[in-house]
Amino acid sequence: MDSDQAGVLMVPGFIGGELLRDAQQEADTKVAWRDVHSTYVNKRGLTIVQNHDAYALDLVRGSHEPLRDLTTLALVASEVVRFADELAKDIPTLKDWQPTEQSLHRYDDPEVGLSFHKDNLRFRRLIAIVALKGMCDLAVRDADGNVTYFATEPGDLVALRAPGLTGHADDRPEHAVLNLRTDDRISMMLRENNRPYDDIPGFDFDNL
């Protein structure tokens, strides 16, 4: 995940077995999905296409009541935090990484689930994505326009570099969710916001 690399760490089969099955069941039956399909132009002037439903929890300001029904997904999140703690032994800047938000996306377009973009600068050090259901490609595009595809399957973990991980001010990977190979694809994302008490323009939480 050095600044001269793609900025992506793939961990195939990060979760599996009963834990994965229970997480899939929770996502299918206990998540109050919200339709966020849209197309818009971001501050960088890029047209962003998002073909997915979402469910997002603010872990700092929001009610923790929804987590009582999502105990398995909370357990998966704690496994990700433990993984980051292990990474911190080799990457000291990851010490005490703690997500401030937990969100789920359910993609349904076979070609573009989420077009190329960079995550907000306020998300620090590491962005962790656990694939829960379905198969697709995480595509990463470098500054020369070259695209690398990472095929993801249920149980895989994808860790993306975020500001503060290396010595560079901004070496966020530009990435997209493409080439859905199943009817839908569900993933859970954990991010650490360095301004957790400030609203994020255009982003809504379901527990505020």
Spans of all domains in the chain: 8-193
**pLDDT beyond 50 at 156:** yes
Q: Are 131 and 155 in contact (CB under 8 A)?
A: yes
Distance CA 157, CA 14 (A): 6
For 58-93, write each residue's pLDDT tens digit.
999 999 999 999 999 999 999 999 999 999 999 999
**Mean pLDDT within 131-143:** 96
Tell me the pTM.
Answer: 0.95
Q: Dmax over Cα atoms in the chain, in whole Å?
A: 46
The DSSP bridge partners found for residue 146 are none
**Mean pLDDT within 129-153:** 96
Fold for domain 8-193? Jelly Rolls (2.60.120)
**Residue 37 DSSP SS3:** coil
3-state SS, one letter per residue, for 101-162: EEEEEEECCCCEEEEEECCCCCEEEEEEEEEEECCEEEEEECCCCCEEEEEECCCCEEEEEC
From first CA to last CA, the distance across the chain in angstroms is 34
Distance CA 173, CA 55 (A): 23
pLDDT at residue 1, rounded to an integer: 59
